[in-house]
Amino acid sequence: MDTMAKPGVDAQELLRNLPRSGDTRLMYVDGTWGAASDGATRTLVDPATGGTVATVAEGTRDDAKRAILAARKAFDDGPWSTMTAHDRAMLLFRVAAKIEEHAAELQHIDTLNNGKPLRETQYDVADAANCFRYYAGLATKPHGQTFDVPAPSQSFTVREAIGVCGQIVPWNYPLLMAVWKLAPALAAGNVCILKPAELTPLSALRLATIFEELEFPRGVVNVLTGAGPVVGAELAESDGVDKIAFTGGTVTGRSIMRAAVGNLKKITLELGGKSPNIVFADADFETAIDYALFAIYANAGQVCSAGSRLVIQESIADRFVAELTERAKKIRVGNGFDDKTEMGPIISRAHLEKVESYLEIGKTEGATLLCGGSRLGGSLAAGNFIAPTIFDKTTSDMRIVREEIFGPVLVVQRFKDEAEALHIANDTIYGLAGAVFTQDAAKAHRVVRKLRAGITWINAYHPTYNEAPWGGYKQSGMGRELGTYGYDAYTEVKQINVNLDVVPSGWFET
């Protein structure tokens, strides 16, 4: 396995477009940039080097309340919700164009802040622009329905904006996850309070400068930095917020559901996963190997839909796992700014230690460690790097099999026949994603239809499309993002009935 040290990156030059006061990068609320109400700050750490990236404002509950009031006013009294769908669409098209104009800058900011390789952030930025463009086009397309009801009435429905939307996004896809939430919400006429992950707020703040440059009305988009248990909790609890959209861990998702009970706000949750990647003996061997690596080691396994369980047919398991292990050992791990890097660091020292604890759990539980299993040292010692890891000879009751590790750790589960493959695949509290590799088309469709998961692939893993819905079964969440489903999740359905014969009903005698 090759490792690469960090190339030089001038963080201050890269972040030159983020408004600041002194050394503190500011948050964006009600159309203005400001510090936290109590002056608190957070220091952001480069996960590849351990060095300081930037200092940002650390929002408080009072800051969250101020953002909620601003958003409430923007929706209830402002021009956004009454703006025509065409005019909203034109603005969103301009956002897409601005993201493309500043693509290299946004790409480098996410690599600096998150650590993932440039080739991954390049995709993220391109997809973010396309997401805005997709929803800009969709803004003028949604329609209601008309119903043939007993005369003399006409009944129809329209879709209307929900209102103030609190949007809490994770650190693994800082820009892209923000856009997945902002684009459909704005297209539908909502106003937004975006809370980026406290570890990775920089690209969201840069996105806010684009909204400011394009002169979005005040309060329509607010970017509120701060901790989840503080500003995130205020958004979830507040009666002034009409909807919460959250992507993150299942435990936090449950707490958000409990907090949202106060005013029964609408909720969309995209949560954790322990997704199966099923490989049958008749699969194209090289294709299955390639995608098995991509499924777990993309973004260092810090992906909610990662194929973290390889469910492999016994007749090819030894050969397949041996080849997979040799390939995993050759993955080039290093700083995301090195063009040769294929896998970057773990996001933080705390998360690194969590992943390391699972490595020890796997060893203690008796799984066979085939490669990896430890932190990387040498030129990478200052960063948060874990070697690509594979555990074989696992059992279904092991914690490394049942719990989401969220790191570059693959567990191997073996099966004899189709029935056992499905039993193993569905034996989980999660249901976000899964894949099937086979050259038998009937078997592929048969198996994928029985997978209890919201996102599935046949002979592929990880492709994601703005046009198609994203979300999971079971404890992997509720609701869907992307596609028309993502738009509908930000709308209320109103039934309108028209009396075509305007005469007294005669229900009560005069």
What amino acid positions are annotated as catalytic residues?
270, 304
Helix (H) or strand (E) segment spanning residue 279:
strand 276-279
Helix (H) or strand (E) segment spanning residue 492:
strand 491-499
What DSSP string describes 304-348? TT---EEEEEHHHHHHHHHHHHHHHHT--EE-TTSTT-SB---S-
Beta strands in 148-247 (DSSP E): 153-161, 164-168, 191-195, 221-223, 243-247
Q: Distance between CA atoms of 335 and 118, rounded to whole angstroms?
A: 9
Taking a C-beta distance cutoff of 8 angstroms, is the pair 300, 408 a contact?
yes
| 3-class secondary-structure state, position 286 | helix
Instruction: Give the closest residue to 81 by CA, choosing from 139, 168, 33.
Output: 139
| 3-class secondary-structure state, position 424 | helix
The partner residues of 222 in beta bridges, in order of sequence, read: 193
Instruction: Give the closest residue to 180 by CA, choosing from 464, 370, 386.
Output: 464
First to last CA, the chain: 90
Q: Classify burial at 138, counting beta carbons within 10 Å of its beta carbon; exposed 0-12, middle 13-18, buried 19 or more.
A: buried
SS (H, E, C) 221-242: EEECCCCHHHHHHHHHHCCCCC
Taking a C-beta distance cutoff of 8 angstroms, is the pair 394, 411 a contact?
yes
Phi, psi (rounded to 5 degrees) for 12: -65, -40
Q: Report residue 303 as tokens.
A: 């992906």
Phi, psi (rounded to 5 degrees) for 152: -100, 45
Taking a C-beta distance cutoff of 8 angstroms, is the pair 132, 183 a contact?
yes
Pinpoint the alpha helices (H) of 366-404. 399-402
Cis peptide before 170 (omega within 30 of 0): no
Helix (H) or strand (E) segment spanning residue 132:
helix 118-138
